[in-house]
Structure 1
């Protein structure tokens, strides 16, 4: 198949290459079609083996208690791998664990890998299953040691012999060389050709077996960003989990980075991918609304962002996921600034508050500080958290153009809300006659706050829709 390769298999305490540990290693070195070395060893993981894993592999805590550390077998493994290609079923899993194990010894493992899952998919595209159990059934192979390292190595070796017998040694060697040169770093079950993904701005979606995406991301260079996920899997536990599940990649091109950011935010909220932590739907967000009258009691009122009217943002301070977070934050500000929790609405009661009695409130509640001064101190303390008012007199459009693809888009906003993305002047004029509900979105607000606070600049393709002085 290859001039020199090592078929390897690991048993581990779990599927996380960063946190879990190796419990068994098996390797067989093949040179010019002849077996040159065969070696296996249990490894002490120095952590407990979960009951499920013990049941699956038959490797118990007692079996590895007196086994050597990985550091004690590392040299033997490096000698076996010297000058060889590492061949494994789902090579990214085994390779990732080895990278982490050697990294803990300050050794950078450098070895080419070939995944026999991908090789099976290439050689037998008519079949759906390419795991070891599927291969055993498909080719009538047998083993008495499934889920033990050397037992699984022998299954791979049997399958390689069967594939050469059925398809010819040249066909197997050619497929192996092609995978080794072009896609050895790709997830083993990936169906989407990487070459199909454009190197343009847009959003990419990772799918497993189900209809909903596992993860959604954006980039100004889609193919490079997708490939970066694959390359990071051996170092980042979350990437490893995603890539063991991924089956296909979909993408949606945009004219620029802003369009990609907006589309990513919308799709994450709509589809709720399991591995996205940011940009999830943020319902129930609240903020503090400051009263105009310094004599008002309370000075602050907690309001839901879903309920605010247009033009009210400039009277709001902070954005919080819950009432408790809002109250905790305001209480901390009150303590630092000597503000009255009663006047702020954090506590009920009349007369001097308890905070004043213990010296934490400067005494507006006891008549020792003017209400206007207290309100001014509060406003200054909250200034950094103040929401910005919509800085323009109407709808604003931001034009993006991608020279390589020729794609052009105009993103239309009003009151910090993304109303629509259109692709030409006709769609823009049609949009002007339509009424669109405006629903505040925190992610869009944060995205636009800096970009649209400056005066409108035609050189940056930002324009006020309906401006008679705007010229293409």
Structure 2
């Protein structure tokens, strides 16, 4: 690993947004052949105020950077210094993103192989849960004299690499580095620069082709890994091969968590109808059985009923044929009478009775009440869950770091949109008019409710005017 030229780098910044925040300190160590060639650091005038919490966290004040060079002054020399070297950083997407944006403002294009020591530590020490720098300093006993200063943290990274070399075999370390530095083979119509900003959190991604046509919509808890996996060199899936030939642009929507990604994906597929998505397409023939004791099950269409508020609905089927096949299967499995189920007309013994597969409700050998009891038991697992709230609610979801918070607006198992704290809420009548029952959304929500139970954060929206922040 250390045979190639490396730059171990750390940045201090005014915040966490690479497009709107600015660098206030740079520290780097050049390494080649296992030897440190040079250390260099400088404060940088961000030309904006440093927030008080950043001053407290780093010890870098507005007064300290007042006489420092701006990034425009050091940019060309730094760009030349980094050229052709592997960039090594902790949580490297953060530092790389800031560098690329600062260089872009100066009209300089910067691309590099990037080695993230967080990911490297996870590969080499998968038995450990935490791989932030403080955890690694404590676990490996690393010296850290100037924590949260750029050059001090870059020195910690150098010590960390040396620990990796001592504790892991050369082959294991080389394989881990090679995997992390592996560059995907991108489609010819896709600019590699466009993928640099892909986040590593949850969300939805959209592939566009010629004339901006939407080719495919997908979701993931790690957008970057999932998008790049479509372009792996072996193209194991024929679909990925076809997408690679047609793709011209990638868009994405970040979400607070997996639920938001699932809901957005289902909505976008039905709205945009991408040519390479087969699942989650809009189904206009959705139907169910409505049943009350003493009657045969009645097949009803989704457009005829409010599926969320009735207690006597069973099964959600994509077609009439699927529904009838399911009912016939229940009849055969439980010895039910097809005439009492409405599957067979006429009088006298049903055909299944003649084959000794019916207990005789059609000829009076089994009472209607007993048959209904067995039918109720057979249908129980197909019961459609009623909406458990009096009206529309918001389901709050946060990301793991607590930095992104979303409120998914739901009513009658329908997804009506996602809002942020402070956003205005539509009135209840507007929400109900927007509601359209959808099987995929129902499945996503019922599974999520069953999994998380009492841990769900539900906000009643009846009296709310704006999305309230979390307590």
| 1:192-237 deviations in Å (ceiling 9; x for gaps) | 5220222232111111213321110011221111011112653222
Mark the CA change 1:453 to 1:235 in structure 2 (over 3 Å): closer, same or farther. Answer: closer
1:184 deviates by 5.5
Any runs of at least 4 consecutive aligned residues in structure 1 with deviations exceeding 6 A, and if so which?
467-471
Map of 2:344 onto structure 1: 347
Give the Cα–Cα distance (whole angstroms) in 2 for the partners of residues 378 and 307 of structure 1. Answer: 24
> Pick from 353, 359, 362: which aligns with 1:362?
359
Give the Cα–Cα distance (whole angstroms) in 1 for the partners of residues 402 and 383 of structure 2. Answer: 40
> Pick from 447, 459, 462: which aligns with 2:458?
462
Map of 2:221 onto structure 1: 220
Contact 1:391–1:452, Cα closer than 8 Å, also in 2: no
TM-score (norm. length: structure 2): 0.56
Q: Are residue 309 (structure 1) and residue 306 (structure 2) matched?
A: yes
1:321 deviates by 2.0
Map of 1:441 onto structure 2: 438
TM-score (norm. length: structure 1): 0.56
Q: Are residue 190 (structure 1) and residue 190 (structure 2) matched?
A: yes
- Structure 2 unaligned segments of length 5 or more: list them: 1-180
Q: Over aligned residue pairs, what C-alpha RMSD do you find?
A: 2.7
- Structure 1 unaligned segments of length 5 or more: list them: 1-180
Residues 322-471 of structure 1: pairs in structure 2 closer than 5 A: 322-402=319-399, 406-428=403-425, 430-432=426-428, 434-437=430-433, 438-452=435-449, 457=454, 460-466=456-462
Contact 2:331–2:337, Cα closer than 8 Å, also in 1: yes
| 1:89-148 deviations in Å (ceiling 9; x for gaps) | xxxxxxxxxxxxxxxxxxxxxxxxxxxxxxxxxxxxxxxxxxxxxxxxxxxxxxxxxxxx
Residues 44-443 of structure 1: pairs in structure 2 closer than 5 A: 183=183, 185-191=185-191, 193-231=194-232, 233-291=234-292, 293-294=293-294, 296=295, 299-309=296-306, 311-402=308-399, 406-428=403-425, 430-432=426-428, 434-437=430-433, 438-443=435-440
1:366 deviates by 0.5
Map of 1:82 onto structure 2: none
State the SS of the aligned residue for 1:199.
Answer: coil
Contact 1:212–1:271, Cα closer than 8 Å, also in 2: no
Mark the CA change 1:465 to 1:232 in structure 2 (over 3 Å): closer, same or farther. Answer: farther
Mark the CA change 1:397 to 1:449 in structure 2 (over 3 Å): closer, same or farther. Answer: same
Mark the CA change 1:236 to 1:420 in structure 2 (over 3 Å): closer, same or farther. Answer: closer
Moved more, 322-331 or 264-273: 322-331
State the SS of the aligned residue for 1:348.
Answer: coil
Contact 2:411–2:432, Cα closer than 8 Å, also in 1: no
State the SS of the aligned residue for 1:368.
Answer: coil
Contact 2:285–2:320, Cα closer than 8 Å, also in 1: no
Give the Cα–Cα distance (whole angstroms) in 1 for the partners of residues 452 and 190 of structure 2. Answer: 47
